[in-house]
Amino acid sequence: MSDKALVRVEHLNVFFPVRGGLPFEKKKQVEAVCDMTFEIRQGETFGLIGESGCGKTTLANAILGMRPPTSGKVFFKGQDLYALKGKDFKALRRDMQMIFQDPLSSLNPRFDVLDIISEPMQIRGGFSEEEMEARTVELLEMVGLSKEDLHRHPSDFSGGQRQRIGIARAISLHPAFLVCDEPVSALDVSVHAQILNLLMRLQKELGMTYLFISHNLAVVKSICSHMIVMYLGKAMEWGPTDKIYKNPVHPYTRALLDAVLDIDVDNKKEKKLIQGELPSPIDPPKGCRFCTRCEYATEKCRTEAPPTVKVEPGHYCACHFAEGCVSEA
Ligand SMILES: Nc1ncnc2c1ncn2[C@@H]1O[C@H](COP(=O)(O)OP(=O)(O)OP(=O)(O)O)[C@@H](O)[C@H]1O
Ligand SMILES: [Mg+2]
């Protein structure tokens, strides 16, 4: 683990058993996260990109101590998270928080704003009622709301305001690490920039490290220093964001980028959009997991797992054909 790493994930697997099936049949499992290894450095925003169902939330939950992995390790601040028990586990867990995709369903509708934001303080204990209220007002002001909102309920707010409440709650105990699981995708486009700017400002003010999960490549490009492109539980391409955008190597990364550029109607370049559906993670394709949708796939791709190829310093790709793209720097 490098000195600068806040989080390190090592060969992480999260599989879910599939119920049912006949007694003599081999038990099946959903391979939601498969052999993921990476580091998130102190103070950075690390992007995780991939289609719906590829395992992003499952991976985030495993990093946050909420989903014990089938195998592999998660280190947070140099400590093996799942080797800790009781109080030690809880204390480390408290330093990691999550902002959810849908602020309405993640906030208890019967609670007022004071109850919602002060709940983590109540659970931790050691705060008087006055201290909790004063801290809640301070947090509300940090996220662009005010004291007048203390006794309103989630249904009284707009989507963007609700997400601000979710952010205030997540930062109430001053965590070192925040997972933002598609924090703007359920919101009106007009408030995306406001919420992202708020997250960026808070990161600077509080010195937090972010894992930012998104479908939106433009957002990841603008705020993330490193990223992973994930497909069906596995990492396809990873490294510094600027290098991946400048020199995408994996056919899946290229297709994702082409899909974004597709909005540009004047661009006459031929688009290679991804065809078909994401295959089932219960019985993922042998060899490269992307082979059923890759226009370049050969027999080797269908039978052999791809090697990890170093494209350039820090930039890696898991593809049988990546070696042809290595720049002789
Ligand atoms: N508790 C569970 N039991 C069984 N399968 C699960 C469970 N949680 C997730 N899965 C499966 O694991 C896979 C990954 O799901 P996950 O929610 O992590 O995807 P995601 O990338 O976050 O998708 P989205 O972008 O839609 O949020 C999916 O096939 C999902 O059905
Ligand atoms: Mg998800």
Nearest residue (by CA) to ligand 1, atom 3, is 16
Name the residue of 18, 27, 56 whose CB sits within 8 Å of the most ligand 1 atoms, as the mutation to test its pocket.
56
Nearest residue (by CA) to ligand 1, atom 11, is 32
**Ligand 1 neighbour 233 (Cβ under 6 A):** no
Residues ≥6 apart with Cβ < 8 Å to 324 = none
Name the DSSP letter for residue 297. Answer: -
Say which ligand is closest to the CA of 181.
Answer: 2
Read off the pLDDT of residues 137-166 as tens digits, 9 standing for 90 and up. 999 999 999 999 999 999 999 999 999 999
**Ligand 1 neighbour 58 (Cβ under 6 A):** yes
Confidence band of 20 (pLDDT split at 50, 70, 90): confident
Closest atom, ligand 1, to C-alpha of 17: 4
User: Ligand 2 center to residue 214 CA distance, Å?
Assistant: 9
> 97's torsion region: left (phi>0), alpha (psi -120 to 50) or beta?
beta
The tokens for 13 are 């697997």
User: Ligand 1 center to residue 179 CA distance, Å?
Assistant: 16
H-state helical runs in the chain: 56-63, 86-93, 103-106, 113-124, 129-142, 159-170, 189-206, 217-223, 241-246, 251-261, 299-303
Mean of the per-residue pLDDT values for the chain? 90
**Ligand 1 neighbour 32 (Cβ under 6 A):** yes
Strand 45-49 with 209-214, pairing:
parallel
Name the DSSP letter for residue 183. Answer: T
**How far is Cα 319 from Cα 288, in angstroms, rounded to an integer?**
7
User: Ligand 2 center to residue 221 CA distance, Å?
Assistant: 19
**Ligand 1 neighbour 230 (Cβ under 6 A):** no
**pLDDT above 60 for 329:** no
Read off the pLDDT of residues 209-262 as tens digits, 9 standing for 90 and up. 999 999 888 899 999 999 999 999 999 999 999 999 999 999 999 999 887 765
**Ligand 1 neighbour 30 (Cβ under 6 A):** yes
% of the chain beyond a pLDDT of 70: 93
**Ligand 1 neighbour 279 (Cβ under 6 A):** no
Q: For residue 212, give Cα distances in angstroms to 16, 100, 138, 219, 275.
A: 24, 11, 25, 10, 26
**Ligand 1 neighbour 57 (Cβ under 6 A):** yes
Read off the pLDDT of residues 251-300 as tens digits, 9 standing for 90 and up. 999 999 887 765 545 555 555 567 777 888 888 888 999 999 999 999 99
Confidence band of 28 (pLDDT split at 50, 70, 90): confident
**pLDDT above 90 for 203:** yes
**Ligand 1 neighbour 56 (Cβ under 6 A):** yes
Name the residue of 19, 30, 216, 229 whose CB sits within 8 Å of the most ligand 1 atoms, as the mutation to test its pocket.
30
**Ligand 1 neighbour 54 (Cβ under 6 A):** yes
- What is the reported pLDDT for 186? 85
**Ligand 1 neighbour 53 (Cβ under 6 A):** yes
- Only one residue has tokens 């109080």, namely 87
| Domains of the chain in sequence order | 5-95+175-325 (3.40.50.300)
Say which ligand is closest to the CA of 214.
Answer: 1
User: Ligand 1 center to residue 100 CA distance, Å?
Assistant: 15
The tokens for 133 are 């209220």
